[in-house]
Chain A
Amino acid sequence: MKKILLFSAFVLSVLTANAWAISSEEAAVILATRNICPKAQKFVKKYLGKTFDDDIRYIYSKEARQIVPHNREIHYLHLDKNLQPMNVGKNDAYVAIEKAMEVVRAYKSHSKIVVTRALRTVICLMVDIHHIANIRIENIPHSQRDFSYKYHSTEVGKKKDKLEEANWSKLGKNCGGYPRGFSGEWRAYDMTIYLGDRFAEYSKGTLKDWAADNGAIAARYLAIYKPNAVVSCLDHKYTDPVTYDLMVKASCRLAALLNGIFK
């Protein structure tokens, strides 16, 4: 029975992410691949049957969408007012990652399909919890749902200034303002340059620490971005580097989780 429940949980967990654009997620995963140890590389290849970055595309495939029902809740990270994960009674990304990692760590005692789905869940949701619009903080009511706001297209008073409509859930969707044309591979290269020698710094801590870190960043932005708020063009543009930094962190932390299995 327990096995069936576990299996069902992971089937439900392999979902389509609603955060970044695909190539941004792809880039995060490619970068993670470059930072995992050889044992983890071998492990990923064995269970995903192909390269790491090919698999992130699988999650978005029609086939995957048909097999797996979509549950939006699984993408969110619920935090209390102290930015600690509210993992009791929630079936959010944090809980799903922890459950999936239990299976991945004990991969020898599970069937290949269960481990594969658990691995896909970790990949997908580790990226999702680093998208600030997926973070729901207990004492910030407007973080509990998507909302719309407006932003000035340029500085107030300038001739070309106009108010643009935008949605919180789309914040950072294009990862640091990347224009079209960046392939996943080229973004990953860009992220590699950005990361430099900070892998140890970015991957330090536990899942709980990372959740709190992401929560603190989200809280800072939720103080500016509120339903119907009018945001200055500078606030709007300065979110790009932050969302970019979070994506690099997502890849480092994903790599750290997988490296941790073989320590």
Chain B
Amino acid sequence: MKRFAIIFCAFVSVLGVQSAKAWHNFAHGSIAYMAEQHLSPEAKSKCNYYLRHTLSHYASWMDAWRLERFEVVNKSHASMSMPDGINLDFKSGDPAGGVMGHLVNALAELGDGKYKNLPDSVVRQRLINMAHYVPDMYCPSHVLFPESVHPSQKAHKLYEKGKKLGYHRFWDHCLGREGRVKWEYEELAAAVDKVSKKRVAEIQSGSLEDWGRDIIRLAQRSIEIVPMGTDVAYMPEEQVAAVRELVYEAAVLGAYRLAYVLNTIFADKNIPVYNDKK
């Protein structure tokens, strides 16, 4: 556990919690829709049993309820005040913290067939939460770099037609922006989900530690692609394409890993937290 924390620290020193919403509802629904297409028959039937809805139905549940009953329905995550963002909350006793901490906890509770020993309502709540926060992990604006590495997100001002635009807001709303106003999940999924089998195998392997590194890489790339002061309304075509490529990659990682997490849980297996399985 300590090692995991050190690895994270080496990359970014401090990771902060985001108070803003994560991917917007449409992006969350689309990613959950994509994940649903890659569930094993067993996982699909178990998710249907516990949720009585699709994953996309609950994809934004945590955002919708976070100001009301979040702390009540998620007692095991009481150390967290927010579901979004990566937070190395050492004080809570959970070194992975934040979103990654939620996933580590959920896998410990549900993996290796342990979900069978839990009340249905508990499993249901964990699935609802995962449908939201697993894709959220890959939202590029969910990593706050220490100021020694990069100015804070607050300072990383962007513009849209001359008006100030928050860095977080820009990335949260990127996915699906290029589509028509009333895009449906199927349409965005068709545009995004063009991954080769080889890439799927890569995505759906490794440990949570590797997944954490992917998150950080995405965040670093997002800063390089859209540097401070950019007016996003007037980005050249190559820059727009780079942004699109990044958010599509983030969506694919979120969707395939959500599917992988659920497939693993309902195959009575587990995902290692660390590479060396210590």
Contact = CB atoms under 8 A, between A and B. Distances in A.
Given A181-B184, A186-B186, A193 B52 contact: yes
Contacts of A189: 54
| Interface bracket on A | 20 to 34
A35 B278 CA distance: 53
A186 B33 contact: yes
Contact of B57 (A153, A183, A190): A190
Interface string A178-190: 1111110110011
Interface class of chain A by DSSP: loop
B52 A196 contact: yes
A108 interface: no
B183 interface: yes
A194 interface: yes
A158 B52 contact: no
Interface residues of B, number: 25
A155 B53 contact: no
Interface in A178-226: 178-183, 185-186, 189-190, 193-194, 196
B54 A186 contact: yes
Interface stretch (B62-70, B165-173, B233-241): B62-70
A178 B186 CA distance: 15
B67 A158 contact: yes
A186 B184 contact: yes
A181 B30 contact: yes
Given A158-B67, A160-B67, A237-B65, A180 B182 contact: yes
A196 B185 CA distance: 23
Contacts of A160: 67
B67 A181 contact: no
A84 interface: no
B68 A190 contact: no
A234 interface: yes
A169 interface: no
B185 A183 contact: yes
A154 B69 CA distance: 10
B200 to A, nearest CB: 23
Interface in B17-39: 25-26, 28-30, 33
A177 interface: yes
B52 A194 contact: yes
A182 B185 contact: yes
Nearest to A233: B68
B186 A183 contact: yes
Interface string A156-181: 00101000000000000000111111
Given A179-B28, A179-B60, 16 more contacts: A154-B68, A155-B67, A180-B182, A181-B29, A181-B33, A182-B56, A182-B184, A183-B185, A183-B186, A186-B33, A189-B54, A190-B53, A193-B52, A193-B53, A234-B69, A237-B68
